[in-house]
A and B are shown apart, each in its own frame.
Chain A
Amino acid sequence: MTTRTANTPATQVLGKVGRAREATAPDHALRCSAEVAAGTSGGLAVNDLGAGFGSFLAVDAISLQILPNKITAIIGPSGSGKSTFLRCLNRMHEEVRGAWARGSVLLDGKDIYAAGTDPVQVRRRVGMVFQKPNPFPTMSVYENVAAGLRLNRFGRVPGLDEIVERALVRAALWDEVKDKLHQSGAALSGGQQQRLCIARALAVQPEVLLMDEPASALDPVATLKIEELMRELARDYTIVIVTHNMQQAARVSDYTAFLMMDEDRAGRLVEFGPTDQLFTKPKDRRTEDYITGRFG
């Protein structure tokens, strides 16, 4: 699908990226357009996305493709708007007072920001895991996983036991909690809590899973487990992860987007491409500087 970039001055920065991308990986761009156009579930197409708080512009003119069943990493120095960008993908950004967003984000070809679209439904299809694990402390492990499912039904949910078990298995947590399903969700270790949050997000069967620095609050062992989990999950879900840890991005992701703050303090997309290529042969000088640690 042709990247519908609006003809704004900001696009000229991106034009370089777009051209670069098309020059080096024409087959994947074609595949992308075919898949997304055909409506394969899980692809996100971001077009000229801008977002801010009140009069403050946090990110501007971001356009890229999130490919289905791939892990896309968003990296960049702090303040570059990575989390803001991520939160626009499931319309969580607008929950803060005074926050606004413009542009379009197409999920399966349909713009989630189109007038009349209900954010509640969007969030069902685009799930999110947060930086600090946040299980519901008043609910048991079981109830935490079931929380999303209970929203859409009165009374008993048919087959809930199996759904909960499946979600916990998917999140690589089942073995550790199967005997303590009815203990409080807050009684687990940090890494377990985060996997519980992942299970909770998976239980409602989203198409895309957004992860905002999911391992930054965890110890190295737990982090590794989460990273392994991500690769597993990518088989069935589209994953977008924000991370400040470049090595993690390099280890885990298939595609990487590099965001950076401009002079007007708005975050813009500097470069986007397959991870190996971006890390070994970056197209933009700024990308190279960031990756080699000259700033960050």
Chain B
Amino acid sequence: MIMLLWRKSVNRLMGVMTALSALLAAAALLAVLGYVALNGWRALNVDFFLRLPTPVGIPGGGVSNAIVGSLIVIGLATLFAVPIGLGAGIYLSEFGDNRFGDLVRYLADVLSGVPSIVVGIFAYALIVARRGQFSALSGGFALGVMMLPAITRTTEEMLRMVPNSLREGSLALGLPRWRTMFSVVLPMARSGVTTGIVLAIARVAGETAPLLFTAFGNPFWSVDVQQPIATLPHTVFTYAISPYADWQSKAWGTALLLTGFVCLTSLLVRRFSRQRQGA
């Protein structure tokens, strides 16, 4: 009898503990987001978006160079990663059921597990060290390398989901293989593939480490891809560890911008893909 009472108490206790754990995790997120929203909101104004950073001590100014810089770097990354990722994904789904395909998949997985700072080192050694200067290009390359495995995997999965009957029908009509792929199969998988790309972009948009010694950051306005360039995550980092209250406030504002973008994108993508799959 006592034993039964004990078992039932344990049952109830663990029920509470598990619920608390889940709530704790959710609470942590809300705490982080909450502070970012609260503190960041104060820093947001028109100047924030349109102006360049002012010298230390002079209030006002904004992070317009970082906004543009992030767009440029992400754009470069996408330009680099999408063709290669798509190509690799197409290869894997069409011709990839062999040892080489397995190798590629394995290496893609390895790549996705490489810490972002190591990717930064790679980009540094490959581009920055050789050319002797930091550049938006190298930053774009680093981010692109990080996007690559995700795009490859999503593309392969989405393409595999297109039923084979479609391919066979097209081939039976006399269309060559590559034409089948581009005109028939790819369009069918289009939304899934796009989702994958958007998700990959959202993931790298917040990355700082690979940019530390590639894009390097730039307090001035620059859209030259061969020069160092400011980016949002890098701005958060630099301003956050600075001793100036004005900069710290701007760090929160930039963090809000960044987090808002990333979270919104994840939300939208999820909502969209769930609609497509019919939940």
Contact = CB atoms under 8 A, between A and B. Distances in A.
Direct contact of A and B (CB under 8 A): yes
A48 to B, nearest CB: 30
Nearest to A154: B3
Interface in B29-51: none
Interface in A148-207: 151-153
B118 to A, nearest CB: 37
A280 interface: no
A44 B49 CA distance: 77
B270 to A, nearest CB: 24
Interface string B7-23: 11000000000000000
A113 to B, nearest CB: 19
Interface string A87-116: 000000000000000000000000000000
B4 A153 contact: no
A8 interface: no
How extensive is the interface on chain B, given as a class?
A: under 10
Contacts of A2: none
The SS class assigned to the B binding surface is helix
How extensive is the interface on chain A, given as a class?
A: under 10
Interface in A116-173: 118, 120-121, 151-153
Contacts of B3: 152-153
A120 B8 CA distance: 9
The SS class assigned to the A binding surface is loop
A41 B113 CA distance: 62
Nearest to B6: A154
A118 B3 CA distance: 14
A118 to B, nearest CB: 8
Contacts of A120: 4, 7-8
A152 B7 CA distance: 8
A120 B10 CA distance: 14
A221 B210 CA distance: 65
Nearest to A121: B4
Contacts of A151: 7
Contacts of A152: 3-4, 7
A153 B2 CA distance: 11
Nearest to A153: B3
A166 to B, nearest CB: 22
B120 to A, nearest CB: 43
A120 B9 CA distance: 13
A153 B4 CA distance: 10
Contacts of B4: 118, 120-121, 152
A151 B11 CA distance: 12
Contacts of B8: 118, 120
A190 B139 CA distance: 59
A153 B3 CA distance: 7
Contacts of A121: 4
8 contacts: A118-B4, A120-B4, A120-B8, A121-B4, A151-B7, A152-B4, A152-B7, A153-B3
Interface of A: 118, 120-121, 151-153
Given A120-B7, A121-B4, A152-B4, 7 more contacts: A118-B4, A118-B8, A120-B4, A120-B8, A151-B7, A152-B7, A153-B3
